[in-house]
Amino acid sequence: MAKPVREIAGATQALLTDTILTAAEPVVLRGLVASWPVVEAGLRSQREGIDYLRRFYKDEVVRALTGPPDIKGRFFYNDDISGFNFSAANVKLDALLDKVLEHLDDPSPPALYVGSTTVDTCLPGFREENDLDLGDRDPLVSAWTGNRSRIPAHHDLPDNLACVAAGRRRFTLFPPGQLSDLYIGPLDFTPANQAISLVDFHQPDLEQFPRFAEAMEHAQVAELLPGDAIFIPSMWWHHIEALDSFNLLINYWWRQSPGYMDAPVNTLMHAILTLRELPPAQRLAWQEIFRHYIFEADGSEAAHIPEQARGVLGPLDIDQARRMRAAITQKLRR
């Protein structure tokens, strides 16, 4: 039922303009990083791809997830959501790659995964040979590697340009409005710091999760080959499958808002604490307040106040953000 993600063939660095990097919908950029040496090495063989990666690794430990063969790469909760179906530990990256090599031809390998590892820290020098120029953006560049994996649908606040450097990856994406149809799990107890869909995309239980069929009506899907990239806009839900026995993804994250702004999820958690259990009429009143001051704010809400007296209703800058953060922290400590 999912439709294909829009694609641009023969993508080049010159294509990475604001039109693409601020798009409201995902787009696949075929061949964007096909000239990267790491891509070329991996296409020659998986072992060459791993050996190329080792060239840049020094001694930094990484956070690795490992699971038994029966989870089939799906890093998830245990049956009653009291824990997880995998173990996490800090390990040397070369030790993890040794495990990947050991099981390259294993039809039922243990699940091996390293996610969101800062490239400049773990693989110094890698970006001198394999990199993209995103103009005045200052992205965080991360590496994701391991063998076959299935990462449940989740969303991220930053925009994301994900580049497939080795192996194939399948992305299934949903617009932000599909939240209720994806059956999201706990907000404060998560496998990797992001709330995830509880639906198994390989075997969706439509009796337990009937609205998932509606979610799939809005889904977009793409299978990427080595050298391809995909732009995932902020807050789009994405389910990612690494399809080969060695996979490497390099992604670039950045926010379209100043760095001094806090993560909105902190506001959500505080809103649960302060608003959710209010009587319905009071919740509606606060809904109107948030509409007025936040979601439909255009400057007119403070136009009747002298500029020097607008306080937090004035322009937000780094100094104002510090003052607000200090005031909020003080109130929370009472």
pLDDT in tens, 287-301: 999 999 999 999 999
Model confidence band, residue 217 (pLDDT cutoffs 50, 70, 90): very high
113 touches 209 (CB < 8 A) = no
Q: Which of 114, 140, 115, 137 is nearest to 127 (CA)?
A: 140
Q: What is the mean pLDDT of the chain?
A: 96
Confidence (pLDDT) at 28: 98
pLDDT at 8 exceeding the cut of 90: yes
Tell me the average pLDDT across 4-19. Answer: 96
Placement of tokens 């107890």 in the chain = 189
Q: Contacts by 9-16 with C-beta closer than 8 Å and gap 24+?
A: 11/229, 13/132, 13/133, 16/132, 16/133, 16/134, 16/135, 16/161
- The β-bridge relationship of strands 140-146 and 247-254 is antiparallel
Model confidence band, residue 331 (pLDDT cutoffs 50, 70, 90): confident
**C-alpha to C-alpha distance for 33 and 51, rounded to whole angstroms:** 19
List Cβ neighbours of 318 (8 Å cut-off, separation of 6 or more).
258, 260
- The β-bridge relationship of strands 87-92 and 247-254 is unpaired
**C-alpha to C-alpha distance for 19 and 179, rounded to whole angstroms:** 26
pLDDT at 119 exceeding the cut of 80: yes
142 touches 119 (CB < 8 A) = yes
Q: Which of 118, 59, 123 is nearest to 92 (CA)?
A: 59
Q: Which two tokens stand for residue 177?
A: 């409005």
Tell me the average pLDDT across 245-255. Answer: 97
Confidence (pLDDT) at 93: 96
Tell me the average pLDDT across 266-277. Answer: 95
| Domain ranges across the chain | 3-254, 264-332
Tell me the average pLDDT across 120-140. Answer: 96
pLDDT at 245 exceeding the cut of 80: yes
Confidence (pLDDT) at 1: 73
CATH fold label, 3-254: Jelly Rolls (2.60.120)
pLDDT in tens, 164-193: 999 999 999 999 999 999 999 999 999 998
